[in-house]
Structure 1
């Protein structure tokens, strides 16, 4: 079963997740998603907060009451997208809309899967915003970090633990075909990549038909962009942008915590199966998790991708709509 998660618009008036805006992307995303799940799963709400009169916290609502399953049972939207407000306030041409798609470590990497992931991510955003196209789509591949060592060797430690082995250039170029097709269909105006150093960018440009117009890099408060990358980008017409995103924006353990049982979880997933236990089928949903004794979904989750979207009003420079979608596979 595929799980589709959303934060809704974290810039919305009265949204309880606005406090996270401006954080690094992983913190902002997890905080926003947690708040959105809490608001939908809490049985008694006052401005999104459960009743606090000293009594025991009520059990969360059963997930079926605030999620939506597809007619064929292969997808579960968390929360129900019909319950959230969507769309932009002004005409499409008044906005700059940017998407960043993170392919996650452990997700499917074959060409067919990447094509499906890419199209699904952009179609969810187009539907959410009520627009026919976006201005810029940046793609982030797992395990790739911008190499700052030559110019700023003391800063390389700020990267943290390596979350995945970087994909080979052949796999990246093959996945890029899915992104190119969106540009050819008019769904995306400009395409970009993230964290490409000079060597990787040169090889990538050599093997692609429709070249990226943007390369987004994370300097991590470092000194400057390496000269060879600046020269290559200028020569090939690639704009260099700076970001502070985390490439593994949704680790598997974080997602299970968000969706699992207990006071801090949304109650969608049953406790993780112990070794030797016989797992139940996904459609049987035969585990109880404390949500009023109701059953929850069994299985292990594997995050596949996350997409971040931002709609900025051009003439005012104001972010009107910002949010995230994520996809994970639930395997029994």
Structure 2
């Protein structure tokens, strides 16, 4: 009897443990009981959908067509990277889209950096953006720019990375440099990234358990700089819109972002070659030197290893530096017209 009770308790604890680490199924948009579909979407070859939103001047009138990749916990509504005045002055059409699992875009459990690059190419073709287009990625969205430079460089007219999140496990980083930068993060974020990289099957549990603090970003308490704090008080809700970005579930949006972004990549960005040897395009990397979320030391190393990238370091800039006065205009005009 005693052995039977012990066995039953062990089985019970194992069942509870399995339940706690197994993420719930996503609530797919348009499915019975799921969130409604309210945005325009394109259907990909594999049947999935990407929801998008258009900004700037009408596509038919635009001189420049840009695809924007949103950051962690954001979505297609954040097109505020393009000032309306710049769009009208220069003639810019910008499309932002919900990355897989965010907002109203279907999740992609098989997502890789390579697959998302081809999703982007298909989005451009379905929207009729032409043979070449520009890409801009902010924060976590910057990682998609690396994927485009690797897998679809022939489709790019130019590219900009803004405070792009780095993966501390890229082989091209010197071990001492990446280790030093890694330990500059909050201890709770070190654990979050360590689990996403080494034990991705525990990512859901780690970010939902109550025993230890998990991601400071998910908790809404990231390592913001003094400039970031000042900018937050002036940013309107339109600039920081996060409408229904997690409505299909945090696992397929936030948690899978961590697993892909900090997992083992199929390539090392530091091995990439210049896609614009003909000088008909350029790649730019913008970084604030006071960014508390992304280490500036690693961006400097990237710029040194890849001299074909035009590196712009903003003195006193935090992670939100693009929203400081004049920065968004400078970022766009530098991408479209070259160095000033």
TM norm structure 1:
0.29
Q: Write 1 or 2 for the structure with the bigger share of strand.
A: 1
Larger RCO (CA within 8 A; separation ≥ 6): 1
TM norm structure 2:
0.29
